[in-house]
Amino acid sequence: MNGPGIAIMLALVMAASFSAGWVLRDAQARGLPNRKAWTWAALQFVEFPVFLWLYRRIRPLRLRDATTAALSDER
């Protein structure tokens, strides 16, 4: 494999890794169980563009800490 091919492959692997990490952190912050968060991250890494779009469509709307912060402000 030549230099540009390796650079493109490395860029794609880096993008897939970054997006899998983002999906994992976002899923945990939104209160998904740890097993489901890791499953989404693994699927995201394997099927990079498709699962990123799918996760963005189905993820929960609220962050887990947002509801607790709203309750503590009311008191």
Does the pTM surpass 0.75? The reply is no
Q: pLDDT tens across 50-66, in order?
A: 777 777 787 777 766 65
Of 40, 30, 37, 34, nearest to 61 by C-alpha is 30
User: What is the spatial distance between Cα 41 and Cα 53, in angstroms, rounded to a whole number?
Assistant: 13
Q: Residue 17: which residues within 8 A CB-CB, separation 6 or more?
A: 45
Q: pLDDT tens across 15-25, in order?
A: 889 989 988 99
